[in-house]
Amino acid sequence: MSPKNFQETKQSILVRPMVDTDVEAVVPLHRICFPDYFVTELGPKFLSILYSESLHEIALVAVDGDGRLLGYHLSFIRPSRTFVRLMARRGPQFLMASLPTAAQGLNKALKVAGALTRPTWRMPKGSAICMYTAVSPDARGRGVARKLLVAMRAAAIDRGIESLFGENEDDSKLCALYESVGFRRHDIITAPDGTRKVRMLMDLRDVVVPSAERALSIDAPSI
Ligand SMILES: CC(C)(COP(=O)(O)OP(=O)(O)OC[C@H]1O[C@@H](n2cnc3c(N)ncnc32)[C@H](O)[C@@H]1OP(=O)(O)O)[C@@H](O)C(=O)NCCC(=O)NCCS
């Protein structure tokens, strides 16, 4: 691709709120980007319900000029409220979708219970937790993830969030990406599966968002 074409492609990346019709493309991308995550094991139906019910959180997509999904980001602002609403509206569907995995034994059943209750974790008031940033393999290295994170940061500020939490693999490039938008390394923990995770934090009270970036901040769809 010539540099000129590359530039044109780069310019046509648009970040906007995720809407219901995006979920169909978001779920396969989730499965490509997070193949080893436990929630992925719970299957596409489970993921589809999870994303559809999370649209009022900070849920963003990056699309190209043709509207093709390049990547997405999801941060939770009110995980317990989302979880309660999800259970109230789609509890039976949600449980049915996780049943095949739960039926694989006690260990899996406990993990399903953990995954289902994970969103009820208490977070300090005014904070949000970054869950997923995913970019299609053929769109990587063009700044899509950075653009999504910048838009997420602006949306978080607009919605009164003061601190953002994230947990990453202990990968210097990945952490550098998060640091480039204002996160700092908080500490390193060992996850239950034995992997090292870097906990990252951003204090949004210290961040001044340039007006050009605020243009990317978008209201959540009404619920
Ligand atoms: C990590 C990920 C989102 C990066 O997407 P991307 O659109 O290629 O990222 P960008 O183009 O905005 O890259 C910005 C920087 O991040 C770096 N980077 C971050 N993570 C990286 C990774 N896993 N592999 C390679 N480079 C990575 C790039 O080198 C680039 O640095 P540079 O600007 O100094 O060259 C993408 O690789 C992905 O979807 N991975 C699988 C899912 C995942 O691990 N998500 C993150 C945790 S939730």
Q: Where are the domains of the chain?
A: 3-214
pLDDT digits (tens, 9 = 90+) for 55-67: 999 999 999 999 9
Closest ligand 1 atom to Cα of 132: 48
How many angstroms from the chain centroid is the CA of residue 50? 11
Dist CA 73 CA 15 (whole Å)? 10
Dist CA 204 CA 25 (whole Å)? 31
For the cut 70, the answer to whether the pLDDT of residue 20 exceeds it is yes
Judge if the beta carbon of residue 173 lies within 6 A of ligand 1: yes
Residue 51, judged by CB atoms within 10 A of its CB (0-12, 13-18, 19+), counts as: buried
pLDDT digits (tens, 9 = 90+) for 134-159: 999 999 999 999 999 999 999 999 99
Judge if the beta carbon of residue 142 lies within 6 A of ligand 1: yes
pLDDT digits (tens, 9 = 90+) for 53-107: 999 999 999 999 999 999 999 999 987 777 778 778 888 887 787 788 777 777 7
> Which residues are CB-neighbours of 35 under 8 A, at least 6 positions away?
none
Q: Whose CA is nearest to atom 21 of ligand 1?
A: 174
pTM of structure: 0.85
Three-state DSSP at 161 gives: coil
Poorest-pLDDT segment among 16-20, 23-27, 40-44, 213-217? 213-217
For the cut 50, the answer to whether the pLDDT of residue 5 exceeds it is no
Q: How far apart are the CA of 86 and the centre of ligand 1, in A?
A: 31
CATH of span 3-214 = 3.40.630.30
- The rounded mean pLDDT for the chain is 84
Q: Whose CA is nearest to atom 4 of ligand 1?
A: 145
For the cut 70, the answer to whether the pLDDT of residue 218 exceeds it is no
Mean pLDDT of 193-214: 81
Q: Whose CA is nearest to atom 8 of ligand 1?
A: 140
